[in-house]
Structure 1
Amino acid sequence: MKYELLDKLREVNPIAFNICNFVTVQDVCNAINSIGASPAAVEANEETKEAEDLIKICGSLTVNLGALIDPKIDQIDTTIGLADKYNKPVILDPVAVGASPSRDQRAIQLLKKHNIRVIRGNAGEIAALIGAQWNAKGIDAGEGDLDPVQIAKDCANQYHCIVAQSGKTDIITDGDNVTKVFNETDLFKLRVGSGDILSSLIGCFCAVSSDFYEATRVATVVYATTGELVANVVNQHQPSVFSATLIDKLNDIDVKIISSNARVQSTDAEE
């Protein structure tokens, strides 16, 4: 795996454009800044007269569907269209898809209309995008009896993109190859916005590599490994301490530490 993409990211310092959920915008921007990219963020209900200018200079666009209301979807649609126009990779975080039919419909419409490069969601959200039966629980993954790897592969094949499915074991697939990341901590579940941060970091790595499968799995490994290392040194009953320390650690994590601590299984032919 090309962990050296972390060094490239810090050298290039790409602009990572994010349409954010207002609940987590500060955490997302801090994480982007800490990993070595430069955040540019708007909420989906803000004016977007500068959207085209930002798209022109950014390396990627990450779209978070949290706190979605009708006026926002038009702005999101327009901005993703601009990313298509300028060939900038788009990462979609379908927050709480599976919680309501209208939210499902909006997300699926975006996926059918635009060239989304990466979808990052939990198992419940990914299952909802392909109409698979799953007991989703709002922004949480919920439970289901289906094979999570097959769900992720089916979603990747249906929408012709990379899927990063977060969970106790993270699954990254292009519909054929599969990478599993076993680094994890329960503290991620106690931190609102853990998934939002991962989506934004995937955007950072996709900004410096045209191999979006590789960029997505490296971003996932970096984040999961960093979180696990932080969890090993903080009090398990202090999630706020974990949150702050996680942002700090993203700033000084390096390739050597990642490669020494990553626990990954891949079906890739090259591996």
Structure 2
Amino acid sequence: MYDVCKDIVDACDGDANGRIGIALTLPVYAPEHYSWQLAYESVFRAQAERYMALARERGLRFTQDGHRAGTLAFAHRELGLLNGTSFMSHSIDLTDDDIAACVETGASIVHNPSAIMSIVGRCPVPELIDAGVNVAIASDGAAPDRGYDMFRHMWQCMHYHRRHFRDPDVLPHGKVLEMVTIDAAKALSLDDRLGSLEAGKLADIILVDLFKPHMMPMNMPVYRVTCFANAGDVCMTMVGGKILMEDYRVQTVDEGEILERVTLAAQQMLDRSGLHHLLDAPSTLWRRSHY
């Protein structure tokens, strides 16, 4: 796995005029949750040392997916995986030691409010922010029950934590918008180039069309964007000063052709894997409170 990672770094890091940046990753080590991992602590330490040496040598970011109570503190104290270029995903049910490790190292937390991990536990986002930890919002991918619509995840983030504290003042709308822009850029160590409209930064911009029935009246635009907008309301996308989509039409590729290719690729994957049965609706889909 290390050799494959190194080959990908050699081939891709810094490609597309510097817009592709590779982040290394390792599994989350959780011996306090899984006793069998205790037998592999020496292996974990050797892996961690090797990967972090490569990250330092090449100036790469580091990430892990699936942190929970105790694992961040372990990753820091025992494995040395946390630093200012680390961003750690999910991070549910964190301990005080976990939060302290993030404060001490400057590591960022990536919160996925729509993900299954946020059902089985809670990422303490307001507590992390109050402690001075940088927190970004993400989607955790487009399966099995969510997409890449960051407007949805902003809205869900607010309601998720407000319900937990039974307090509608938790996570102001402006802060949530920061969590998908400048805070997200900081988590990726790109806040000197992206994430805000400032002289000297790349012109990475979207325009949101507020002139729609579900966005009316056109006042309080921050609230409109965080509460009512969705990905389909983005009418223009600019990357590095170049317009890629305008008036809802993608300028740089044939969108219809790509959608057809995606459909075909998905069908081929199901054919080759023999997993067509996973598309069948379960018998418990209707008229029940649980699957």
**TM-score, scaled to structure 1:** 0.37
Richer in strand (by share): 1
Structure of greater relative contact order (alpha carbons < 8 Å, 6+ residues apart): 1
When Rg is computed on C-alpha atoms for both structures, the one with the higher figure is 2
**TM-score, scaled to structure 2:** 0.35
